Amino acid sequence: MGSVAHYLEVRAPAEKCYQWWRPLTHVPEIFPDVQRVEPRSAEAETTHWVVSGPAGKNVEWDARIVEDEPGRKIAWKSIEEHTEESNTVSTAGAVRFDDHGESTGVEVSLRYDVPGGGVAEAVATLFADPQQKVERALESFKEIMEGTRRGR
């Protein structure tokens, strides 16, 4: 099991930051390994994640929002499938928003458990240097919120 976290001050209101993160479908814009996050329910309480792995193999899982405090915090966790054939990746994440008026302190934290079996290599590649990936993603988020982002 591993975990990473990064905190960054963003010149944008907390509610604007929260609204960007809430559906989780924007995550691929800041995490290049994440191909897509698709809602599985109308309120996007459950999402399906598709992430690039090595040798062109994707890793996929479903996640459910487990904590939702508008303007303050969003947390999600992968849904365990409890089958022998399951390639479920055990992950959890949270984004916390500290409202400072015109700016917001944003903290992204991720936790992951690399399984054995067929997806172990793909997941190990996915989570290679996770601290750097989270730091880059949060910097990209900051650029989006502050309107300073250039094409990637």
**The CATH number of the domain where 58 resides is what?**
3.30.530.20
Tell me, yes or no, whether 127 lies in a domain. yes
Contacts of 147 (CB under 8 A, 6+ apart): none
Q: How many domains does the chain have?
A: 1
Tell me, yes or no, whether 152 lies in a domain. no
Cβ neighbours of 86 (radius 10 Å)? 13
Residue 135 pairs in a beta bridge with none
Tell me, yes or no, whether 50 lies in a domain. yes
| Digit-coded pLDDT (tens) for 41-93 | 777 899 999 988 766 778 888 999 999 999 999 999 998 765 444 456 788 99
| Digit-coded pLDDT (tens) for 98-134 | 999 999 999 999 988 765 554 555 555 556 788 899 9
Tell me, yes or no, whether 17 lies in a domain. yes
